[in-house]
Amino acid sequence: MKRIYMDANATTPLLPEVVEAMRPYWMECFGNASSIYLDGQQARAAVDRARATMAEFFNCHEAEVVFNSGGTEGDNTAIFGLLRPGDHFITTAIEHSAILRAAERMAERGVKVTFVAPQASGLIDPKEIQRALRPETRLVSVMLANNETGVLQPVEEIGKITAEAGAYFHIDAVQGAGKVPLDVRRFGCHLLSISAHKMHGPKGIGAMFVRSGTPLESLIVGGSHERRRRAGTENVPGIVGLGKAAELAMHSLEDGVYNRLAKLRDRLEAGILELPGTGVNGAWDGDKRVPRVANTTNIWFDNLEGEALVIALDLKGVAVSGGSACHSGATEPSHVLMAMGIDKTRARASLRFSLLKTATEADVDFVLKVVPEAVEHLRAISPVAAGTAG
């Protein structure tokens, strides 16, 4: 059966160039980058090349790049590595669980935490960050792009506010990386986390920008890898794959791939919105469009269960994600949509469509054919539509 994958914000496939770049580092050039003989030097040279690419990707110095295992580790490192009991930490209610759960743990350990709520549009108002600041605020962490709505946050403005207050600023850029240009100097951040598997690189590898002089304690201790900021033998094939993915992402940004993708996304969105009882979460602020990454749209469908629609679309060959997450067997509506003030029923009936950068017009045509069929069928049989579901 034909399958269309529209869940790029969950993960992406490796591009062939990435696989090719990684291939030698599994077998022929398998050395440990810390060994001084030739095999080790080959591995070290590959890590150094990837580090140079990442420095270009972030617009920072090579010494400010730290390789790690991905977005969760970067987010955890920022929080556990900087905060101590008595500190105040500001983050937002729409962050990924890698930030939220780490913040909750620090709250149990005597860190005061403020979760800033978004506006109905999904945007964080920088003035709310300003209002939340206290003399003891040590760290502010705000995501670049939200994983569920794609809404791009005003990180530059937040960076200025945080700098004036003398606090450290971390950006979870996992969903923005490769979709919009990153520039840590312009953003004014001290720390920024990214993950390779969201940008056509391998899973389990990521990188962090750590501004020189930032007193970040390492999460993992052991050897003196990564200038003592992250112990553990380097995942050389992974690092090479991340470097290649970042290089290709920089080309895509220059080649107008994302303008094409935004047009495809807009056509998909407009096509689905022709169905009655539908709307977009996080696209409008009054009559102004909210800035979003080019590949994402989050759509609500009245009178049906989002989870049922995810399954129905899967059976028809389309992979998308629901606006809810499964916690211990119970389906909870998305914390992001709820924080935006969307009611539980509508949050449960929301789906995220996130296009791969390789998506085609034919993919969109196919999805526009099967979504109305699935929605009409489910509405016809849905207990929600019949008003019997609680």
List of residues contacting ligand PLP (CB under 6 A): 70-72, 75, 96, 98, 143, 147, 172, 174-175, 195, 206
Distance of CA 108 to the CA centre of its chain: 26
Shortest Cβ 172–ligand PLP spacing (Å): 5
Provide the 10 A C-beta neighbour count for residue 333. Answer: 21
Rounded (10°) angle between helices 236-254 and 257-273? 80
The closest alpha carbon to 368, from 381, 379, 355, belongs to 355
- Our CB check for ligand PLP shows the closer of 101 and 260 to be 101
Provide the 10 A C-beta neighbour count for residue 42. Answer: 19
- Our CB check for ligand PLP shows the closer of 72 and 114 to be 72
60 counts as catalytic: no
Sign of the C-alpha dihedral computed for residues 200, 267, 374 and 148 taken in this order: positive
Angle at 207 between CA 228 and CA 25, to 5 degrees: 90
Shortest Cβ 139–ligand PLP spacing (Å): 16
Shortest Cβ 286–ligand PLP spacing (Å): 26
How many helices and strands, by DSSP H and E, does the chain display? 14, 17
Amino acid in the structure at residue 298: N
Shortest Cβ 72–ligand PLP spacing (Å): 3
Shortest Cβ 380–ligand PLP spacing (Å): 34
- Our CB check for ligand PLP shows the closer of 49 and 203 to be 203
Catalytic residue among 29, 60, 189, 326: 326
Instruction: Give the Cα separation of 354 and 267 in Å (integer).
Output: 13
- Our CB check for ligand PLP shows the closer of 112 and 203 to be 203
Look at residue 331 and give its three-state secondary structure: strand
H helical segments located in 151-216: 155-165, 184-187
Instruction: Give the Cα separation of 37 and 57 in Å (integer).
Output: 30
In contact, 218 and 77? CB cutoff 8 Å: yes
Shortest Cβ 193–ligand PLP spacing (Å): 7
How far apart, in Å, do the first and last CA atoms of the chain sit?
A: 36
- Our CB check for ligand PLP shows the closer of 70 and 159 to be 70
Instruction: Give the Cα separation of 146 and 173 in Å (integer).
Output: 9
Q: Which two tokens stand for residue 219?
A: 């999460």
- Our CB check for ligand PLP shows the closer of 319 and 368 to be 319
Specify which residues 159 forms β-bridges with: none
Shortest Cβ 146–ligand PLP spacing (Å): 7
The closest alpha carbon to 389, from 305, 276, 302, belongs to 305
- Our CB check for ligand PLP shows the closer of 174 and 340 to be 174
H helical segments located in 200-293: 225-228, 236-254, 257-273
Q: Which residue is nearest to ligand PLP (CB)?
A: 71
Residues serving a catalytic function are: 326
